[in-house]
Amino acid sequence: MWLADPGERIQSGHTADDDKGSEPEDGALYREIRMWEARRAPDGTDLVRTFAYPERPLPPGGLDEYRKARKQGSRSIVLWADPHRERKLATVVTRTASRGRPATYDVADESGAPLGSIVREPAARGGQVRTRWTVQQTGRPAAVGHKGHPFWWVVWWLLWPVQLILAFLSILEGASARTPRRTKWRIDGETVLDWHDDGYEFQLSLLADWWDERLIAALVALEESHESRLGDPWDNVAH
């Protein structure tokens, strides 16, 4: 499961059920959370389907007010089943958040029933070197993941001068400068979620069959809203 950016093209060798353009029509939502289909196309290629359409609802103060709140770690997200907002899948609301401290997000279904919670603890706090994400589905034990493998963090800091050059190039040429991102969530030593680069885009693989896909889509939207590469995350842009 992954967040498809506006204008994203389906990778070579795969097809989508309905790969629409990036421009919104009649106020329709155009960002998509996509996932692989279990079935395949008649020609043997993998199929991709859109699971949800994420939206960032704005507070009464508008975008400026939202941006002030998000700097403190707050997020507000609605997941829709369709681009015209006819059926809601889930909502993400911030329970607690303050700058530089852990933020807790509650995820509920369309009726308001809890699906679970997601906690993001920033790096370099309370002896925590890496950012830690905790995902707990209602009725299930909590899964804990740490952002980036320790080895790649060591490489990152050893190559810090190179990272500065990449950051400069990203401004000039649109290249990507980002910290290590892969995250594996575990329960009692067993990996149940894997946020990884598949060679085309970062995506979240569900490695346990009991996950509620609505909660996982909320996690994808939150992960990408905290994206550390240069440029604005999806929920911080004007449109």
Q: What is the pTM of this model?
A: 0.81
State which amino acid sits at residue 102: P
Instruction: Flag whether pLDDT at 10 surpasses 50.
Output: no
- Contact yes or no for 107/115 (Cβ under 8 A): yes
Domain coordinates in residue numbering, the chain: 52-236
Of the chain, the percentage scoring pLDDT greater than 90 comes to 56
To 10 degrees, the CA torsion angle through 173, 174, 177, 181? -160
Q: What are phi and psi of 33, to 5 degrees?
A: -100, 115
Name residue 118's beta-bridge partners: 105, 135
pLDDT digits 0-9 by tens, 191-212: 999 998 876 678 999 999 999 9
Instruction: Flag whether pLDDT at 29 surpasses 60.
Output: yes
